[in-house]
Amino acid sequence: MVRWQRGLWWFLLPSFGLLTVVLLWPLGYALYLSFFDYYLGSSDRTFIGLGNYVELFTEARLWQSFWTTIIIAFGSVGLQFVVGFALALGIYKLKFSARLFTMLLFLPHIVTPVVAALFIKWILVSNFGLLDATLLGLDITPPDWLGDPIWAKISVILADAWIFTPLIMMVLYAALQTLDQSLIGAAQIDGANAWQILRHIIIPALIPAIIFTVSVRLMDAFRFFDTIYVLTGGGPGTATETITMYTYQLGFRMLDIGKASALGVITLVVVAIILLTINKVLTRIYRRGD
């Protein structure tokens, strides 16, 4: 251990300075702008206090985008967590020859989300897409994957899950490898079945990794943008308009920077609250006495 010495804090200065410039300054500036009536390009900026916030909260569109975000974020993270965890357990059991398999599963995660989304769009696009062409060939009339409000949500969820399931699988698989094998042996001898071993031994041991993946993914999913932008652009109507899509619309389509900033601040607070809650709950469930 290095003893704390006076003057050592100088060494923190560069990284702290960098953090301030790239992280805290834009954040502070966004907070500042959120109190103004300010349009991009216009020269006047009027201080309106909480006006932007009041306006946002009284609009139906914010609430709708908020619920859309919740549905898509929890839907896709839930789906990719369940599938990713199941796959991790699967290859944990396989042990051998798993490497090639994992590489294949990882493929969707290697390409950039925008490209992956384009790829999915090419599959889902109506009539000419790979899926529709196949279904039509079989004389099945497919739903409008991206044009129907409900199917559009489902498509977006599936797309995100497809891209990020491999990541969750790898993190949980890595965590599984650190598990003491004899714990499973002991539990088997003690008469626990596969489900009980999962519940009493494996999941508790994975809690830190689970908290990590779920938090990171939820955080990401709340800022969910690129895939939706490519697939549906928030439509049809506002069916897949998440908070970030709405922020984008406000800021870059309507040029209402003040309101967009206010929405950004709201998003930050909401995400922080949700993450802290999830972290607390998961920790409380399994880490008693820690």
Partner 1 sequence: MASVEIMNAVKAYGDQQVLHSINIHVEDGEFVVLVGPSGCGKSTLLRMIAGLEDITDGEILIDGKVVNTKHPKDRDIAMVFQSYALYPHMTVEENMAFSLKMQKRDKEEQKQKVAESARILDLTKLLDRYPRQLSGGQRQRVAMGRAIVRDPKVFLFDEPLSNLDAKLRVQMRTEIRSLHQKLKTTVVYVTHDQVEAMTMADKIVVMHDGYIEQIGSPLNLYDQPANLFVAGFMGSPSMNLIKGRMDRSDPHQFVTQNGKVIRLPCPVDIDPGRELVIGIRPEHFEVSDEGTEFEVEVIEPTGSEIQVILNLGGEKATAAFRDRLPLEPGDKVRLGMSENGLHFFDSQSGNRLSPDLYMKEVSPEH
Nearer to partner 1, 6 or 288 (CB): 288
- In the region spanning residues 167 to 186, those forming contacts with partner 1, defined by CB under 8 A, are 180, 182-183, 185-186
Q: What mask of x and - would describe binding to partner 1 in positions 130 to 169, judged by CB under 8 A? A: ----------------------------------------
End-to-end Cα spacing for the chain? 24
Residue 28 carries which side chain, given as an amino acid letter? Answer: G
Instruction: Kindly state the smallest distance separating residue 96's Cβ from partner 1, in Å.
Output: 9
Instruction: Kindly state the smallest distance separating residue 215's Cβ from partner 1, in Å.
Output: 20
The verdict on 95 binding partner 1 (CB under 8 A) reads: no
Instruction: Kindly state the smallest distance separating residue 285's Cβ from partner 1, in Å.
Output: 10
Nearer to partner 1, 66 or 212 (CB): 212
- In the region spanning residues 201 to 240, those forming contacts with partner 1, defined by CB under 8 A, are 201, 204-205
How far is residue 201's CA from residue 212's CA, in Å, rounded to a whole number? 19
Number of H helices, E strands in the chain: 14, 2
The verdict on 289 binding partner 1 (CB under 8 A) reads: yes
**81, 217 Cβ separation under 8 angstroms:** yes
Long-range contacts of 87-93 (CB under 8 A, 24+ apart): 87/165, 87/169, 87/173, 88/168, 88/169, 88/170, 88/172, 88/173, 88/176, 89/176, 89/198, 89/202, 91/169, 91/173, 92/173, 92/176, 92/177
Beta bridge partners of 49: none
Query: Which one of 109-117, 138-146, 148-156, 189-197 is the stretch in contact with partner 1 (CB under 8 A)?
Result: 189-197
Please list, residue by residue across 229-255, b when 16 or more beta carbons sit within 10 angstroms of its beta carbon and e when fewer do.
Answer: bbbbebbeebbbbbbbbbbbbbbeeee
The verdict on 191 binding partner 1 (CB under 8 A) reads: yes
Nearer to partner 1, 192 or 268 (CB): 192
Nearer to partner 1, 44 or 290 (CB): 290
Site size for partner 1 (CB under 8 A): 21
For residue 151, give every residue at least 6 positions away whose Cβ sits within 8 Å of its Cβ, in sequence order, or none.
143, 144, 145
The verdict on 286 binding partner 1 (CB under 8 A) reads: yes
How far is residue 142's CA from residue 123's CA, in Å, rounded to a whole number? 13
The verdict on 189 binding partner 1 (CB under 8 A) reads: yes
- In the region spanning residues 75 to 94, those forming contacts with partner 1, defined by CB under 8 A, are none
The residue ranges that bind partner 1 (CB under 8 A) are 180, 182-183, 185-192, 196, 200-201, 204-205, 286-290
